[in-house]
Amino acid sequence: MVKPKINILIVDDSSIMRHLIAHVLEENEDFLVVGTANNGKEAISQNRQLRPDVVLMDMNMGDYDGPFAVDQIMQSPWPVPIIILSALGNSDMGPILGALESGAYDYVNKSPSHNSDIKAIKVPLFEKIYAAKETDIATLLGNKDQKRNTAPHTFDQFLAYEVILLGASTGGPSAVESFISRVPENLPLPVIITQHMPASFVPSFAARLNEMNNKEVVLASSGTSLEKGKIYLLPGGHNTVLRKIGSEIKFRRSRRKFKAFNDPSIDGLFESAVNIFGAKCIGVLMTGMGRDGAEGMLKVKNAGGLTIAQSKETCVVYGMPKAANLAGAVQYNIKLREIPSFVISAIS
């Protein structure tokens, strides 16, 4: 039986870029470019007419840009997995993060010019297209809702845990935002987030998280001290771990490379936290490709800590949580929106 092709719509305001992307996709016999569009308005129309399996979407396209198109397509009767394919650079990443919040599947950093640059992203792009085709569109739509509830909570004087560790990859920005928007503003424990994303994304993502909660979100650069009640976001581009230096606990840049993923590594952060806090750790592993976090979660569990994985039905990509479950590292599989309340109950 002939394997059905993955039908792809390319949206970019550059005719040269549309041609280059199509040429790269045509190298894979599983892909079929069914159409192209040069702005968001055309993308909405083409999506309605062609019903592609996956859309590749640029962000900056004039009046009818990517964020507009993503929002309209995901609200239409014909929602589809959308991969943001844009030259990220080092500018404000707000539009891309906004598109992810509106239901876009994931992003790939597209270099702005040469054919060789486009070919350089072929492997991650192909990987994400295959995964996007298999994703449950209802999960993308369900993760859009970010109802904020950060009302203070009454905590016991003596707490069962001392640190909350979050790890996420594909689909993670929306999942992390969902968690942060639902934890009390007086949460007494530090929250440390390891999100797989380009280094240039991290400051904008931290700014968005600051809008979700009155708690301060701190970029955990090397030398930053860990303090109770703060939220920390690990930088991209290198691995960051915790080290106890005298009476203080600090974030330190690490040259060590881990098996599953690096720059930043979820396993690396979790392992270093266990070395300091032992059974007082809560490990939360969210949506994402691959198996980063599985070994770290197992270390948390074996030390006597609490391990929680995002449930399969609420994951954009059930990769990392699945790997952690197969490793025997997960004690509880919880729906995304229920994770904050579960964690708060466990703390007390």
Would you name the residues annotated as active-site residues? Answer: 169, 196, 292
Q: Print the SS3 string covering 191-229.
A: EEEEECCCHHHHHHHHHHHHHHCCCCEEECCCCCECCCC
Q: What is the DSSP secondary-structure string of 32-62?
A: EEEEEESSHHHHHHHHHHH--SEEEE-S--T
Query: Is 199 in contact with 226 (CB distance < 8 Å)?
Result: no
Query: Is 300 in contact with 272 (CB distance < 8 Å)?
Result: no
| CA 40 – CA 73 distance, rounded (Å) | 9
The pairing of strands 239-245 and 248-254 is antiparallel
Number of H helices, E strands in the chain: 13, 14
**DSSP state for residue 277 in the 8-state scheme:** H
- CA 309 to chain centroid: 14
| CA 88 – CA 44 distance, rounded (Å) | 23
Tell me the CA distances in angstroms from 92 to 95, 196, 201, 273, 325, one per residue in order.
8, 18, 8, 31, 36
Cβ neighbours of residue 134 closer than 8 Å, sequence gap 6 or more? none
For residue 199, which of 160, 232, 239, 149 has the smallest C-alpha distance?
239
| CA 81 – CA 4 distance, rounded (Å) | 17
Residue 49 identity: Q
User: Residue 123: is it exposed, middle or buried by C-beta count within 10 angstroms (0-12/13-18/19+)?
Assistant: exposed
| CA 320 – CA 168 distance, rounded (Å) | 8
